[in-house]
Copies of this chain bind each other. A is one copy, B any other.
Amino acid sequence: MKPTSPGALPPGFRSTFLDGLTPREIKAVLTAAKQERILPRQILQHEGDQATRLWLLVTGRVAAYRLSNDGDKLFLRWGVPGDTYGLATILREPARYIVTVEAVQEGFLLVWDLESARTLVLRYPSLSKALNSVVAEYLEGVIDVLGACAQNAKQRLARVLVESARQLGRIGREGIELELTNEQLAVAAHMSLFTASRKLSKWQKAGILTKHRGKIVLPSLSPFEKIVKDP
């Protein structure tokens, strides 16, 4: 997907953030933003930094995580087109990002700086309500992740496969294709590289997935959904 005229959105684009605005208002809000390309591994915001940008992911994929004291990543969620970040910019005082966000697929986003972001919420009260929904969605998502925390490694990994397939998966000949390395999966499922490798091998032997270098193919999600729920 390529940024074309300013304010142009891909067909089928939907965002909770823009819900509740009239088309006219949406246009106004969008033209106040700047476009920006993103590339894999690029850090889009860093937790603890002064929050100065509110942004909307238009195309591409990102990962939101928290950094632990000893520097490893605590995965929170995948971000997909329509997701809004940098909410701290308008929600919190003092405004500091509470999570780190990194691009995982190329794409682009729309950015508002601190001043225009604050102007927007003053001018369009319905944005305030949309924000409620956005934050509530995130809250529910994080609580779900926390629920996963209580499960064992096998279930966590299965859960990550299902979630990732839903958010990042591309449909291929032999099933849903996931362009993720063992390491990325291990981070998302919050386990060591080795445990992830072992579980995946076992599932490949069981015939419910196929592995390639940097890529995994899932013919069906249902076996994994079953693993998540139960032993």
- Chain A residues engaging chain B, CB cutoff 8 angstroms: 66, 68-69, 72, 74, 76, 87-88, 91-92, 98-99, 125, 128-129, 131-133, 135-136, 138-140, 142-143, 145-147, 149-151, 190, 229-230
Contact = CB atoms under 8 A, between A and B. Distances in A.
A190 B74 contact: no
A54 to B, nearest CB: 13
Contacts of A88: 136
A98 B132 contact: no
A219 to B, nearest CB: 25
Contacts of A92: 133, 136, 140
Q: Secondary structure of the A side of the interface?
A: helix
Nearest to A90: B132
Contacts of A149: 74, 146, 149, 190
B146 A145 contact: yes
Nearest to A131: B132
A202 B135 CA distance: 41
Contact of A147 (B74, B138, B139): B74
Best-surrounded residue of A68, A129, A132 (most CB of chain B within 10 A): A132
25 contacts: A68-B147, A69-B230, A72-B150, A74-B146, A74-B150, A76-B143, A88-B136, A92-B133, A92-B140, A98-B139, A98-B140, A98-B143, A125-B125, A128-B128, A128-B129, A131-B132, A135-B136, A135-B139, A138-B139, A139-B139, A139-B142, A145-B146, A146-B149, A149-B149, A150-B190
Nearest to A47: B143
A119 to B, nearest CB: 15
Best-surrounded residue of A76, A129, A146 (most CB of chain B within 10 A): A146
Contacts of A147: 66, 68, 74
